[in-house]
Structure 1
Amino acid sequence: MSLRFAAALFSAALIATPLFAAEKHAFTPQAFAAAQAAGKPILVEIHAPWCPTCKAQQPILEKLESDGKFGALQVFHVDFDSQKDAVRNFHATTQSTLIVFKGKNETGRSTGDTNAASIAALLDKAL
């Protein structure tokens, strides 16, 4: 393999792979509290596997979360059906709720939004 070809392959891999994608976590109160205490930008996604709006949000969120701009974002998934205590603690009344924090401060939320531009604007509020 020539050096030029190897360099081209390496460059293509860098372009195709986000260097700083958001960190995704299953929600636990302890992990969420630790991210807040560290002052991290946080997105909480309250979703349900049967929810059509959640399914529409998913590719938008995946694309945004892979953007280097949101590389420091800590993403916590809360299951609407099985994590009722967390849903109540976040004062969420429905699935497809997105909540952003800067450390311990909630800076925005939306419910049922499937517009990429407004979801990106919401995530900006965590930075």
Structure 2
Amino acid sequence: MKFIMKSILRNILMLSVLFAGSAMADTVAFTQAAFAKLQLEGKPILVHIHANWCPTCRAQAPIISSLLKQKYFQTVTSLRVDFDQQKDIVKAFHASRQSTLIVFKGNKELGRSLGDTTPDGIEKLLRKTL
């Protein structure tokens, strides 16, 4: 019985890692140059402060991916900031934790949320960019 439980848990973990990776496929890694260009062009932007080990970030990923595929949100560019590797960027956004979502329209920050994993909440935040 113990072996079966370990096997099930290992398979669940592997699937969650695979699922999280594929859900973030439409999100681009944050660079200051890309962010500045999008701001200059007045584009709608989602900045996602993300950590691979974060269960909340993993829960947000498929929701964000699904919303960005909808025709209504196709103009939104999602930029992912690596919470562990891009500490200077995290600090510049005044983000104290991973799973922070920040939306911009050009140079103006229009809203942010921390730890929201509800489709309605994330959609409401994204709507602010349009």
For the aligned pair, the TM-score class normalised by the smaller chain equals: 0.7 to 0.9
Letter in 1 for 2:43: K
Residue of structure 2 equivalent to 1:87: 90
Cα offset, 1:99, TM superposition: 0.2
- Unaligned runs of 5+ residues in structure 1 are 1-22
Paired with 1:62 and 1:24, the residues of 2 have a C-alpha distance of 8
Q: Name the CA distance, whole Å, in 2 between partners of 1:59 and 1:46.
A: 15
**1:96 counterpart = 2:108:** no
Corresponding residue to 2:111 among 95, 108, 113: 108
Question: Number of paired residues?
Answer: 105
Q: Computing the radius of gyration over CA atoms, which structure comes out larger, 1 or 2? A: 1
The alignment status of 1:45 with 2:70, answered yes or no, reads no
Looking at secondary structure, tell me which structure has more helix per residue. Answer: 2
Consecutive aligned runs of 4 or more in structure 1 exceeding 4 Å deviation: none
Unpaired runs of 5+ residues, structure 2, are 1-25
SS of 1:77's equivalent in the other structure is: strand
Q: Distance in 2 between matches of 1:74 and 1:36?
A: 11
CA displacement, residues 6-52 of structure 1 (integer Å, 9 cap, x when unaligned): xxxxxxxxxxxxxxxxx632111011000000000000011100001
Partner SS, residue 111 of structure 2 = strand
Instruction: Give me the identity figure in percent.
Output: 56
Distance 1:63 1:75 in 2: 12
Per-residue deviation, residues 55-101 of structure 1 (Å, max 9, x unmatched): 11111111001111011101101000000011001000000000000
Query: What is the alpha-carbon root mean square deviation over aligned residues?
Result: 0.9
**Which residue of structure 2 lines up, in the alignment, with residue 124 of structure 1?**
127
Distance 1:57 1:25 in 2: 15
- Look up the SS of the partner of 1:30 in the other structure: helix
